[in-house]
Chains A and B, each alone.
Chain A
């Protein structure tokens, strides 16, 4: 069982709408949680990174939240654009060990 679970597996929304992607993790001890965007055929690009003490981080239209108590994170995308169509991957890192556990990703499709 993956220690980082993402939901939904895929999502289709209309351009301009908002959406929220979920990430639940059991990785411990926790160092940081990162959200990446991966366009088809490209490498992942970092969107946000949050440590244990942070509960929200924004990057433009992307806002990530973190609840370290419940081990849940979300990525909220506001006013979606066609270019937001991609896979969004949640990655949790263990303290100072450099090991990262990757979620399977949520595939987002934004339609006009």
Chain B
């Protein structure tokens, strides 16, 4: 199984600032996924990050708002840019190995 860690685990940020979330996996994976989980809701896929290429964003999410880096097969970052209170959410990193999808512990973001 894959073990995923995220940093920070939580943060409180001011409107208009940006936050970069780090995701580290204990094994090499081709695809990494970034999800958002708003309060009381299920997970929504933001983008898929492949090493060596640009991330693929889902409808409603754009690179300028959520830039992603994928410098190697075990690491990725998601930046939430120019934050507003509507960005308050849990952000989760995920990878897939065989048929199982593993999730990180999440980063709880509160924007004031």
Q: A-side interface residues toward B, CB under 8 Å?
A: 32, 34, 36, 41-46, 49, 51, 89, 91, 98, 100, 102-105
Contacts and interface: CB of A to CB of B under 8 A. Distances in A.
A46 B48 contact: no
Contacts, number: 41
Interface string B60-100: 00000000000000000000000000000010101010011
Nearest to A87: B42
Contacts of B42: 89, 102-105
Interface of B: 4, 31, 41-45, 48, 90, 92, 94, 96, 99-106, 108
Given A32-B99, A34-B101, A46-B100, A89 B43 contact: yes
A15 to B, nearest CB: 25
Main secondary structure of the interface of B (DSSP, over half): strand
Contacts of B100: 34, 46, 49
B99 A49 contact: yes
A43 B92 contact: yes
7 contacts: A41-B90, A41-B106, A43-B92, A43-B105, A44-B103, A98-B48, A105-B42
Nearest to A89: B42
A43 B103 contact: yes
Contacts of B4: 43
Given A32-B99, A42-B106, A100-B45, 9 more contacts: A36-B103, A41-B90, A41-B106, A43-B94, A43-B106, A44-B43, A45-B103, A46-B101, A100-B101
A1 B88 CA distance: 24
A23 to B, nearest CB: 12
A89 B48 CA distance: 21
